[in-house]
Amino acid sequence: MDIKICKNILRLRKEQGVTQAQLAEYLGLSPQAVSKWELEAAMPDIYLIPKIAFFFDISIDHLFGTSDYESADLLVSKYSAVKNDKNYRTAYDAVNTLLDLDNQNLKALELLCRLEHERSLEYLTKSKVACHKLLSAADGIDTDLEKRARIQLMRFDKMLGNDSFIEDYMIQFEKSKSLDDFNYLILALGHKGQYQEMMRWADDYLESFSLEDQGWIYPNLMEAGLFLGDTSYLMKCFDNIVELNTDLHQIFNAWYLRWKHFRNTKDEKEVDLCKAKLLELLPNQGLNEFRYEKLKNIILDEEDHFHNLI
């Protein structure tokens, strides 16, 4: 930022017909001190800044020669350093003032992107803290909520650019060789889009688990087939889920992933089959009224809102 305070004191003094002696008397200084400022041989002490601004009836920002854009930039930077609602709102208002004047202002739009990115990081961090609390409270008490917390933490770390959770789950599984840790590893690889690696781990370790346990692994592997567009692998996983797993949620989700896949391949016969089965299974999923209607509408309307709502 180009600070123009010395030039501004000279300009304002002349515009308002004030002598160096008059300004110096008001500030309790010698005229020579004011002269040094105007020659840019020295800067006013910080405690004098508010007094000088008040004398010329301007804001401190104006005295410093700070433009509206520079002020907004400073406020965005302040929020980046000290994240709280007050700093966000102040920065947001400053940026939107620029956009109210010109909604195509590229510099202002860039500030808005920076500001909202920092806001998202703030909420992601808060969400991570909440998930860690849930994980700690659910440990050994509610395995379903524990699993949800772990999955959500993977998502947060992915969005925050932290990949260490993959290596952590690899190490954990190598130690325990447990079903839960293997599933967490598969999920971690999936969250990073490493679908071939998911399949490689499955090839190496799947048969070391019982058939019953494999029924809990295939739902996670099925997503690899979906995202790779591999019909053969997807249907292999689907058949094993239906055969080995009696959990209604897992079976419903298997049909859901199958439906998504054949929508992508535009196989109308398969799509109709999956829709009919999903509508048949939907009432037994234990959903509240809002989630039930939303998922039903997605299936019926074939909207592009593919989320695992169960």
CATH of the domain at 25: 1.10.260.40
Q: Is residue 181 part of a domain?
A: no
Answer yes or no: is 286 within a domain: no
Domain-located, residue 55: yes
Q: Which of 135, 162, 189 is the last residue of a domain?
A: 162
pLDDT digits (tens, 9 = 90+) for 141-164: 988 898 889 989 998 888 888 888
Domain hosting residue 148, numbered range:
67-162
Domain's final residue, options 137, 162, 187 = 162
Residue 265 placed within a domain: no
> Do 149 and 132 share a structural domain?
yes
**What pLDDT does 161 receive?**
81
- For 227, residues 6+ apart whose C-beta sits below 8 A from its C-beta are 193, 195
Residues 133 and 103 in one domain: yes
Residues 139, 72: one domain? yes
State yes or no: pLDDT of 121 exceeds 70. yes
Rounded CA-CA distance 214/226 in Å is: 18
Task: Specify the CATH number for the domain of residue 91.
Answer: 1.25.40
Looking at the predicted structure, is the pLDDT value of residue 69 above 90?
A: no
Mean pLDDT, residues 15-30 taken together: 94
Q: pLDDT tens, 187-199? A: 999 988 899 999 9
Are 119 and 139 in a shared domain? yes
Q: Does one domain contain both 75 and 146?
A: yes
Domain termination site, one of 124, 146, 162: 162
d(CA 119, CA 88): 8
Same domain, 47 and 79: no
Q: Is residue 217 part of a domain?
A: no
280 in any annotated domain: no
Number of domains into which the chain is organized:
2
Decide if 243 is inside a domain.
no
Spatial contact of 53 and 63, defined as CB atoms under 8 Å apart: yes
Residue 31 lies in a domain: yes
Q: How far is residue 202's CA from residue 185's CA, in Å, rounded to a whole number?
A: 10
Given this model, what pLDDT does residue 302 score?
54
Separation between Cα atoms, residue 158 and residue 116, nearest integer Å: 18
pTM attached to this predicted model: 0.59
**One domain, residues 126 and 60:** no
